Chain A
Amino acid sequence: MSGLVLKDISKRFGNFAAVSHVDLSVPHGTFVCMLGPSGCGKTTLLRMIAGLDEPSEGAILLDGADITPIPTHKRNLGMVFQSLALFPHLNVGENIAYPLRIRGIAKEDQKKRVDELLQMIHLQGYGERPVSKLSGGQRQRVAIARALALSPKLFLLDEPLSALDAKLREAMQVELRQLQQRLGITTIVVTHDQREAMTMADTVVVMNGGEIRQAASPVDIYRNPSDTFVADFIGSTNLLEISADSASRATFLGKPVAGLALPAGLAKASVSIRPEDVHLTAPGGDAIDGTITFIRDLGGTIETFVDVSGQSIVAVSTPRARPEVSVGQKVGVVLPHEACVVLKR
């Protein structure tokens, strides 16, 4: 198939398994974000794709060909490093022209391509500048232009935006996504910032402990996390302990959750429900009784913390959609079954 395929990739450093048994297929032109806490193996995986680390096991296929034994410099890829790794002894234009020079491309063609790329990153006329005279965002763009100079098949970025301040980072996320869509290049970004992943990716790959926990579209990852780790790691969520009663209905603290059933044979499970799906009503009836312990009014949204028999449940709503409540007040918590995701424990 066309695109990138990882087949049962593992990487061990001594006794430590940095990546274990990863399978992933990235169709051509897809934007993939690898997301996970630090040490989860995402960077190691990216480096193996780049050829900078060698997998202990498994194979990497690009457009059907096994590229595992091919050294980095023959893989035809572009990579942006966290440090950017711009060459300090070269100016902007020379940095961008470096891969062209290596391939022995004619001087005039080099110049033409560099001008094109400078235009693409909105840095026309910056070719002669030393890289040390650029701002963080400009350097970022030079690194991207350099990586794309040869129109590679694969575009890899390792925490590319982490050095930028929050505002610039958000702007660059949009810019990067637009650039990728315009070029239609298969792109893999490693990040620990879920917002960044949600903004840019076609597919988010959540990793933990060297394994892929879920690979799906951002909405799917958010709405249907495959396990408690993903549910907890992506956005904020309420993870509730559910048990099945005699009629295999789901109950939370002894109270049935209307319309929710556990899969047959499962006596206990976790349920993930996003705070914005939790409704607050008057106590009594089908609702679960609780007491408000804290209210965080963020202006745009209000988070209400409810204590239910020692367990804290968070509900989020816009100010207008929320009943007037105050700390210490007794409320009823409603968990709509369609918003509940049942997860094995």
Chain B
Amino acid sequence: MRREPPRTLTDYGPLFFPAAMLTIFFVVPFGTMIAVSFFQRQQGGFYTPAFVWSNYERFLSAFFANVLGFSLMLSIAVAICCLVLALPFTYLLTRMSRRAQVLWLVGLLSILSLSEVITGFAWSTLFSRTAGITNLLVAIGIMDSPRALTPSLGAVLTGMVYQAFPYTVLVLYPALVRLDPTLTEAARTLGASPLRAFFNVVVPALRNTIVATLIMVFIFALGSYLLPQILGRPQHWTLSVLITDQAIYQSNMPFAAAMAVFLVLVTLALVALTLFLGRKGEAA
């Protein structure tokens, strides 16, 4: 089959559908958001179309820089925790019997069916003083008296890792299933312990998958706004929480949009940086 350059309008036909989807689901909403971020806020009311920088100016303060910094750090921590837990887990999962794999995957998928609210409440109960896991520790004599583990950074991290974990596994799973099992076996016959073989062979062979997974979980975690509220103290609130506050409770759409645009830009920059470093690392 020869590939000819498209000549008539119908030759471009196959492009219309993806282009339309991209426009409807990405370009239009994001464009609207950028536009609104420059609108003039009417205090106590709504906004009027304008082109002002004041929404961005308000954001450029030490206070919001701190919140943004915390959000990014939290999301990075969530991504790393998820990967560290999910990679060995998924690796072992792919080596189980077909039946066991299906059972685990169904279990993980059912976690996805839980809403963020339910997850948050379940964890806040588990971490509570009155009904939480510390009561178990007291019962078996490890602790003297039950303690509340929430609100705390650890609780936020746990909740968010729990929520992102199934996604992490589902992203890693296909790559690990396709991974040639003889690679690790070869490493073992060459003198590497199973653990060493995992780090020497599985991890580098999955390098691109791992980077993609980190980015996905990072972005996923960045959008989380319920769990930090339910499980954390105000200093653990992410930028997404403040964006929600502005958009929903203060009806300050321009400021919320400005914060969201800023967050998207910073995220894209970080992702680009990661990919750039990854490529450089590969070339070296």
Contact = CB atoms under 8 A, between A and B. Distances in A.
B205 A73 contact: no
Given A52-B185, A102-B196, A150-B191, A85 B180 contact: yes
Interface string B201-235: 10011010000000000000000000000000000
Contacts of A78: 189-190
B240 to A, nearest CB: 36
A52 B190 CA distance: 12
B67 interface: no
B186 A85 contact: yes
A51 B186 CA distance: 11
Contacts of A90: 204
B190 A102 contact: yes
Nearest to A76: B191
Given A73-B193, A88-B205, A83 B180 contact: yes
A181 B187 CA distance: 26
Contact of B192 (A50, A102, A147): A102
Categorize the interface residue count of chain A: 20 to 34
B191 A81 contact: no
Nearest to A83: B182
Given A83-B182, A87-B205, A50 B189 contact: yes
Interface string A66-100: 00000111110111011101011110000000110
A77 B189 contact: yes
Contacts, number: 70
Contacts of A99: 190-191
Contact of B204 (A51, A85, A89): A89
| Residue from A83, A85, A103 whose CB has the most chain B CB atoms within 10 Å | A85
Given A81-B182, A102-B196, A87 B189 contact: no
A146 interface: yes
B201 A87 contact: yes
A149 B186 CA distance: 13
Contacts of A149: 190
A103 B183 CA distance: 18
Nearest to B188: A72
B184 to A, nearest CB: 9
B139 to A, nearest CB: 39
Interface in A147-191: 147, 149-150, 156
A284 B163 CA distance: 89
A73 B189 CA distance: 5
A73 B201 contact: no
B188 A73 contact: yes
Contacts of B204: 87, 89-90
B185 A81 contact: yes
Contacts of B187: 87, 98
B205 A89 contact: yes
| Residue from B180, B183, B189, B196 whose CB has the most chain A CB atoms within 10 Å | B189
A88 B207 CA distance: 11
Contacts of B192: 73, 98, 102
Contacts of B186: 79, 81, 85, 87
B183 A85 contact: yes
| Residue from B188, B190, B207 whose CB has the most chain A CB atoms within 10 Å | B190
B280 to A, nearest CB: 15
| Residue from A75, A88, A146 whose CB has the most chain B CB atoms within 10 Å | A88
A78 B187 CA distance: 10
B191 A73 contact: yes
A193 B180 CA distance: 24
Interface string B89-114: 00000000000000000000000000
A128 B266 CA distance: 39
A286 B149 CA distance: 100
| Residue from A87, A103, A146 whose CB has the most chain B CB atoms within 10 Å | A87
A260 to B, nearest CB: 50
Nearest to A75: B189
B97 to A, nearest CB: 10
Contacts of B190: 73, 78, 98-99, 102, 146-147, 149-150
Contacts of A75: 189
Contacts of B201: 87
Interface of A: 50-52, 71-75, 77-79, 81-83, 85, 87-90, 98-99, 102-103, 146-147, 149-150, 156
Interface of B: 180, 182-183, 185-194, 196-197, 200-201, 204-205, 207
**3 smallest beta-carbon distances between A and B, as pairs:** A85-B186, A99-B190, A79-B189
7 contacts: A71-B194, A72-B188, A73-B188, A79-B189, A81-B186, A87-B187, A87-B205
Given A79-B186, A87-B201, A102-B192, 20 more contacts: A50-B189, A52-B189, A71-B194, A72-B185, A72-B188, A73-B193, A77-B189, A78-B190, A79-B185, A85-B186, A87-B183, A87-B187, A87-B205, A98-B190, A98-B200, A99-B191, A102-B191, A102-B200, A147-B189, A150-B191
